[in-house]
Structure 1
Amino acid sequence: MLAILISAATSLIISLVGTPLLIKVLVSRQYGQFIRQDGPTTHLTKRGTPTMGGVIIILATVIGYTFANLVSGRGPNASGLLLLFLMVGLGLIGFLDDFAKIRHKQSEGLTPWAKIIGQAFIGITFAVLALQFRNADNRTPASTRMSFIRDSNIDLAFWGAGIGLVLFVIWANFLITAWSNAVNLTDGLDGLAAGASMIAFGAYTLLTTWQSNQACYGVLGASPGCYDIRDPRDLAIVSAAIVGACFGFLWWNTSPAQIFMGDTGSLALGGAFAGLSILTHTEFLAVIIGGLYLLEVLSDVIQVGFFKLTRKRVFRMAPLHHHFELKGWKEVTVVVRFWIIAALFAVIAVGIFYGEWLAKQ
């Protein structure tokens, strides 16, 4: 438990203190945000606000995880390192996208194909490695079984290990792409994505800490309702570090934002969320934990699909937070109410998780 607290505290301090230093560097280089012209007119005043703040979120997370391990005298494990690889890798794709926007002085960054290829490379590497690194209990970081709160009987390797690997890579990359784009869509108002992510990863910190305390250790050590997860303590340390990083960053990102996380932050956080869902074997529970992200994506899908069919719009603008802005809600009101929605989803998910454990006792 001490390592988890140290990780959160370290990343919070680094993010809180490091963000204003990053702001100065970005301002000196004129690395400012470009605003889409079809968005709410109130957002035009944000043009030029420093972006790529996700760099400090990633850095704080990595340092928080590393320092917590050093202080507690424990070594890093495969699951934690894989999760950080996914987060840093997608953060790099986002950084290149943000840099392209700044360089070309427009709101469009990397080409869609460049993004797809970059995300696919990181995602495939993560998925393949996640099925390696067996520990003494013969557990790998990920499983080919589909999961809700724990692994189900639906095994992607039913037709053989080779086919199972291919299907798992496809499934894992679908989750990585979906969640990274979902967080990216959510990152449209000052503090919205940072606050929602703090809540979502806070829920995962609770879940992974519980999994660590109720982990199955060998055959004789197994207890009713124990979790067959490799390295849950590592995942808890990383989750806590992300919470601390988002917490510190939010001080500077809240309205009026002095810095944006950019695609650097949103893709990194989305990738980390997807990675946690895979490594904790809670792939479908993540749909509830990240319910706000899902609502943002659905609003965009509904808007585009309905417009193509009828040439009419369901929402005044998608994603959903812009709809309420155009209805006259103040930006801060939208953000706080969406945080409340995110918190409700997180509480429901944690309740379901704990209720399932109680049912097995």
Structure 2
Amino acid sequence: MSTALMNHPASISTRHEPIRVMVVDDSVVIRGMISRWIDAEADMKVVASLRTGLDAVNQLERINPDVAVLDIEMPELDGISALPQLLARKRDLVIIMASTLTRRNAEISFKALSLGASDYIPKPESTREAAAADIFHHDLIQKIRHLGGKVRRAAGASPPLAPVQERAREPLAKPAPAAAHAQTASMRRPFGTLAPRVLLIGSSTGGPQALMSLVTDLGPVIDRFPVLITQHMPPTFTTILAEHLARSSRRPAHEAVDGEPVKPGRIYLAPGGRHMKVGKHGSEIFIVLDDGAPVNFCKPAVDPLFTSAIEVWQGGIMSVILTGMGSDGMRGGKEIVAAGGSVIAQDEATSVVWGMPGAAANAGICAAVLPLNQIAPKLVRLFAGDRS
């Protein structure tokens, strides 16, 4: 029997109905583990546990999930083949691709994002690896909560119940109240008066697509200034992302190497599993990779890059915070602004998750909060001398 359906009716949403999750994986061990984690949360429930992509496609309308956790490698119909069929049947379905950390699976995950998947998550090689399983558990629950909750709010359904007890690893990032959103426009700061000498970018959930779109139009900036990016992403995935950024920007882009000089005309990407910082010796600016503890539950994290850059460029920093969960980048952004630099945040409407940029906007540190397609033109003008 390839299908194990849960007895949860796909009825019309009622107030506080939990996020409905469909788990699709050919491993009975993985399906069982993920299902237990989800059902332990008050604001979500498993409505189906399926073995193949074909099962998911055939039963989607009856199950009516909000979120699908979709394995890549499955018999009969694999995840990348099932993905467009699922979205054709339910356009607003949130699909989170799950795969082990191989180069092939990383490439497939990027392809899935281009085909409409909402996000990806790396699976541990073995469920016996306690630390890896713990990170997988935490990240999966947060992605389901934020992405599934956003779809519910967009559809006009009541938000799901908050968890009875949030995990110690990360507090629940609650949507900002309407009043806070209304205040952000009046909280905008003027851009720094010093000419920017570097562009720093931080991103997380939804970041790969946003970054590839952004760098496409940043040629005039990249040619004259260094661009340093921290994207929350594991090893192997950052290798592939750097290759995609090079193709999108038509400029050199690579994972940063410890000790290498920072030069104009290049994009430096924080490698998965290590924080990227910068240092200075005399007139030479160089990359510093840090294998320390996670910051803001992330490694790499945005804040270490932002704060280390102040020692090097002082007030000549232009920073951008793109879509992502949590608040990483907000504390570093505060320090950049205090040093005389500037922060731009992506707006809520174009963010997959308005956590990181929303935290910066509502902290009153942003000089601009812009739709994604307006950020690159704005940066080009600012680096050309515009200060407004």
Question: With structure 1 as the length reference, what TM-score do the two structures score?
Answer: 0.32
Higher RCO, 1 vs 2 (CA within 8 Å, ≥6 residues apart): 1
Write 1 or 2 for the structure with the bigger share of strand.
2
**Higher-helix-fraction structure:** 1
Which of structures 1 and 2 has the bigger CA Rg? 2
TM-score (norm 2): 0.30
